[in-house]
Amino acid sequence: KILILDFGSQVTQLIARRVREAHVYCEVHPCDVSSDWVRSFAADGLLKGIILSGSHASVYADETDRAPEAIFDLGIPVLGICYGMQTMAQQLGGKVESGQQREFGHAQIQLHGDNHLLQGLGDANGQLQVWMSHGDKVTELPAGFKRMASTPSCPIAAFADEQRRFYGVQFHPEVTHTPLGHQILQRFVRDICGATPDWVMADYIAEAVEKIRAQVGDEEVILGLSGGVDSSVAAALIHRAIGDQLTCVFVDHGLLRKDEGKMVIDMFAGKLHANIVAVDASEQFLGHLQGVSDPEQKRKIIGREFVEVFKAEAARLKAGGQGHQGATFLAQGTIYPDVIESGGAKSKKAVTIKSHHNVGGLPEQLGLKLLEPLRELFKDEVRELGVALGLPPEMVYRHPFPGPGLGVRILGEIKKEYADLLREADAIFIEELRNFRDEAAGKTWYDLTSQAFTVFLPVKSVGVMGDGRTYEYVVALRAVQTSDFMTADWAELPYALLKKVSSRIINEVRGINRVTYDVSSKPPATIEWE
Ligand code: XMP
């Protein structure tokens, strides 16, 4: 395994992604863990290397983060990236100075001398294209180090002490703007650290199944199945491990996409033969939402009702009966980025843009133990796992769908009539995205977009159909491309696709006579409209 110490960079998770892509297991922990913690983490003999991430901070600032000293005494390789390289330099006796100019963006570095990390990666002139983002820089090498690369403004852009296997790079190998970055990280973890590339899904399933069986024993588990990727894959994995000891609860809040409930039940009850309790709570939800048009209030009501319905079902299942002894575990589809965000990263003062719908806090309220079998996995690993468990790829590679569902896609007050119109229009949009292929990319437009959906606007506009005047509702189509959902660009969908979708919606969905396309990026707009 590889340990990644997080100094608070936005892209630490990408380092972990790249290491996992090299099929090497890694964990991210905050940089302020103690030396004792590091020694005990390494005590099983499986720790093969350590990576220090970048940071926003300057090694100068008064209160700066240092790497735990023990990492330099374990006799295993260490790679410092950006701030990680600077703190390494400073802690080992080198010097760091604040640069006159910040270097930000693409850069060509000149490689020097032989070393195991960067050797042979340069072009004919020994240059390598990288992504830089720093103000401070290392100006004096610590004893035992040699320089590996330079740029005109940063004479020590990478360094190494090959004897001790300590490496530092000022650039960011983890981002895709450093084209050979994945190769550099792979070299570090596989060749320099000697970590075995044994992180593969098929083995993971067997291991995870054993772990779940050991944790659960002969007790029973309940799981809130939303139809989203994470809860579906968690359900499939737990079902593989303990079969009938798992019961899935699927709550229909009346704000699901077309045929969503049917699809989830067909899959889990029909194909996997899992126990599933489907609760149709749509009247209850829509009742509480009547007359409410404020987006935050709508989100809160949906979140609260969801917890209420789920709690009632969980209490019933906890009580047992009908051949059941009663559940003692609550399973959740928590994935690794959720774990890092809630535990590792330092608390940031963030404003609430939107209250996110989740069921956090439920296990304590219900007095249930938690089972979170996906805690170590990234989203794309979860998807890979889902396919390996036999879930259909169309389900596993679906666009994300927010917890409050169509509730945040019907602007203002929610009415059943609006939800029904929106479901039909949205289904047409998604169907056509799946039908339209981009031959050059070899993919459909559904796969070329990260998220696409239809928004219901509760305003009426005048139209003409045949000889008659119409006065009906408007929908907006939204399609975005993004890698992290923090920022997003609106997708440049082909006109032919937009044309087909528009004409189908207006012809097939009685009640809508106008279709618009949303050309706003995030920021300043958000992906959802509410
Ligand atoms: P925004 O609209 O904030 O959305 O740009 C970013 C991503 O988050 C999804 N989203 C949610 N997901 N519960 C969720 O599980 C929510 O309450 C929620 N609100 C927004 C949104 O669909 C997009 O993928």
Looking at residues 270-290, what average pLDDT do you find? 96
Q: What percent of the chain has pLDDT over 90?
A: 75
Total number of residues shown for the chain: 530
Query: Could you identify the residue written with the tokens 């949205």?
Result: 426
C-alpha 354 – ligand 1 centre gap (Å): 8
Give the residue whose CA is nearest to atom 12 of ligand 1: 402
What does pLDDT average to over the chain? Answer: 92
C-alpha 451 – ligand 1 centre gap (Å): 10
C-alpha 455 – ligand 1 centre gap (Å): 14
The pLDDT score that the predictor gives to residue 348 is 41
Q: Which amino acid is at 244?
A: D
Which of 225-261 are b and which e, b meaning 16 or more Cβ less than 10 Å from the residue's Cβ?
A: bbbbbbbbbbbbbbbbbbeebbbbbbbbbbbbbbebb
More confident residue, 176 or 445: 445
Give the residue whose CA is nearest to atom 3 of ligand 1: 526
481 SS3 class: strand
For β-strands 512-517 and 468-481, DSSP reports them as parallel
Q: Give the single-character DSSP code of 268.
A: I
**Helical (H) or strand (E) element with 136:** strand 127-140
CA distance 40 to 332: 29
The pLDDT score that the predictor gives to residue 342 is 64
C-alpha 295 – ligand 1 centre gap (Å): 13
The pLDDT score that the predictor gives to residue 357 is 59
Query: Would you place residue 103 in the very low, low, confident or very high pLDDT band (cuts 50, 70, 90)?
Result: confident
Q: Give the single-character DSSP code of 62.
A: S
201 SS3 class: helix
Atom of ligand 1 nearest to the CA of 400: 24
Looking at residues 189-198, what average pLDDT do you find? 95
Q: Which of 134-138, 197-201, 298-302 has the highest mean pLDDT?
A: 298-302
Looking at residues 352-376, what average pLDDT do you find? 76
Q: Give the single-character DSSP code of 398.
A: P
* Ligand 1 pocket, CB under 6 A: 354, 356-357, 400, 402-404, 451, 485, 522, 526-528
Looking at residues 279-306, what average pLDDT do you find? 96
Atom of ligand 1 nearest to the CA of 451: 24
Give the residue whose CA is nearest to atom 9 of ligand 1: 402
pLDDT over 90 (residue 184): yes
The pLDDT score that the predictor gives to residue 350 is 47
226 is annotated as contributing to ligand binding: yes
The pLDDT score that the predictor gives to residue 176 is 84
More confident residue, 336 or 398: 398
C-alpha 528 – ligand 1 centre gap (Å): 7
310 SS3 class: helix
Is residue 420 within 8 Å of residue 473, measured between CB atoms? Answer: no
Q: Which of 352, 354, 406, 410 is the pocket-test mutation for ligand 1 (most atoms within 8 Å of CB)?
A: 354
Q: Which of 160-164, 337-341, 347-351 has the highest mean pLDDT?
A: 160-164
CA distance 172 to 133: 8
Give the residue whose CA is nearest to atom 19 of ligand 1: 402
CA distance 170 to 110: 13
Q: Which of 301, 306, 356, 398 is the pocket-test mutation for ligand 1 (most atoms within 8 Å of CB)?
A: 356
The pLDDT score that the predictor gives to residue 347 is 36
pLDDT over 60 (residue 55): yes
CA distances from 504 to 145, 255, 291, 440 (A): 66, 22, 31, 26
158 Rama sector, left if φ>0, alpha if ψ -120 to 50, beta otherwise: beta
Lowest model confidence (mean pLDDT) among 165-169, 310-314, 356-360: 356-360
The pLDDT score that the predictor gives to residue 360 is 58
pLDDT over 90 (residue 101): no
The pLDDT score that the predictor gives to residue 352 is 62
CA distance 23 to 2: 11
Looking at residues 163-168, what average pLDDT do you find? 98
Q: Which residues are catalytic?
A: 82, 172, 174
The pLDDT score that the predictor gives to residue 349 is 39
Annotate 425-479 with DSSP letters as a single string. HHHHHHHHHHH-EETTTTEEHHHH-SEEEEEEEEEEEEEEETTEEEEEEEEEEEE
Cα angle 399-401-402, degrees, rounded to a multiple of 5: 150
**Burial bucket for residue 128 (CB in 10 Å: 0-12, 13-18, 19+):** buried
Tens of pLDDT, residue by residue over 500-513, are 999 999 999 999 99
pLDDT over 60 (residue 89): yes
Give the residue whose CA is nearest to atom 4 of ligand 1: 527
CA distance 158 to 465: 68
pLDDT over 50 (residue 370): yes
Rounded to the nearest 10 degrees, the angle between the axes of helix 379-388 and helix 229-242 is 50
**CA trace torsion 123, 125, 130, 132 (10° rounding):** 180
Query: Would you place residue 343 in the very low, low, confident or very high pLDDT band (cuts 50, 70, 90)?
Result: low
Is residue 228 within 8 Å of residue 267, measured between CB atoms? Answer: no
Q: Which amino acid is at 57?
A: A
Tens of pLDDT, residue by residue over 218-276, are 999 999 998 889 999 999 999 999 999 999 999 999 999 999 999 999 999 999 999 99
Q: What percent of the chain has pLDDT over 70?
A: 94
The pLDDT score that the predictor gives to residue 392 is 93
CA distance 59 to 482: 32
Question: Cis ω on the peptide bond leading into residue 523 (within 30° of 0)?
Answer: yes
The pLDDT score that the predictor gives to residue 59 is 66
24 is annotated as contributing to ligand binding: no
The pLDDT score that the predictor gives to residue 63 is 64
326 is annotated as contributing to ligand binding: no
Give the residue whose CA is nearest to atom 10 of ligand 1: 402
Query: Would you place residue 5 in the very low, low, confident or very high pLDDT band (cuts 50, 70, 90)?
Result: very high
Atom of ligand 1 nearest to the CA of 450: 24
pLDDT over 70 (residue 150): yes
Looking at residues 67-74, what average pLDDT do you find? 96
Atom of ligand 1 nearest to the CA of 356: 17
C-alpha 131 – ligand 1 centre gap (Å): 29
Residues 6+ apart with CB under 8 A from 155: 139, 147
C-alpha 454 – ligand 1 centre gap (Å): 14
Query: Would you place residue 345 in the very low, low, confident or very high pLDDT band (cuts 50, 70, 90)?
Result: very low
The pLDDT score that the predictor gives to residue 239 is 97
Q: Which of 301, 306, 485 is the pocket-test mutation for ligand 1 (most atoms within 8 Å of CB)?
A: 485
CA distance 140 to 439: 53
The pLDDT score that the predictor gives to residue 356 is 66
Tens of pLDDT, residue by residue over 449-498, are 999 999 999 999 999 988 899 999 999 999 999 987 888 999 999 999 99
The pLDDT score that the predictor gives to residue 85 is 96
Give the residue whose CA is nearest to atom 24 of ligand 1: 400
229 is annotated as contributing to ligand binding: yes
User: CB-side exposure of 136: number of CA atoms within 13 Å?
Assistant: 22
List residues bridging with 103 in a β-sheet: 134
Tens of pLDDT, residue by residue over 120-141, are 999 999 999 999 988 889 999 9
The pLDDT score that the predictor gives to residue 74 is 97
The pLDDT score that the predictor gives to residue 505 is 98
Looking at residues 94-123, what average pLDDT do you find? 90
The pLDDT score that the predictor gives to residue 113 is 87
Cα angle 64-48-3, degrees, rounded to a multiple of 5: 35
The pLDDT score that the predictor gives to residue 225 is 93
Q: Which amino acid is at 293?
A: S
Interface predicted TM-score (ipTM) of this complex, two decimals? 0.97
The pLDDT score that the predictor gives to residue 344 is 46
Residues 6+ apart with CB under 8 A from 418: 410, 456, 458, 473
The pLDDT score that the predictor gives to residue 380 is 87
423 SS3 class: helix
Q: Which amino acid is at 44?
A: D
List residues bridging with 515 in a β-sheet: 475
pTM of the model: 0.77
The pLDDT score that the predictor gives to residue 358 is 58
Q: Which domains, ranges and CATH numbers included, belong to the chain?
A: 2-192 (3.40.50.880), 201-396 (3.40.50.620), 415-517 (3.30.300.10)
228 is annotated as contributing to ligand binding: yes
Tens of pLDDT, residue by residue over 322-332, are 778 899 999 99
Looking at residues 154-183, what average pLDDT do you find? 95
Atom of ligand 1 nearest to the CA of 522: 5
CA distance 251 to 264: 11
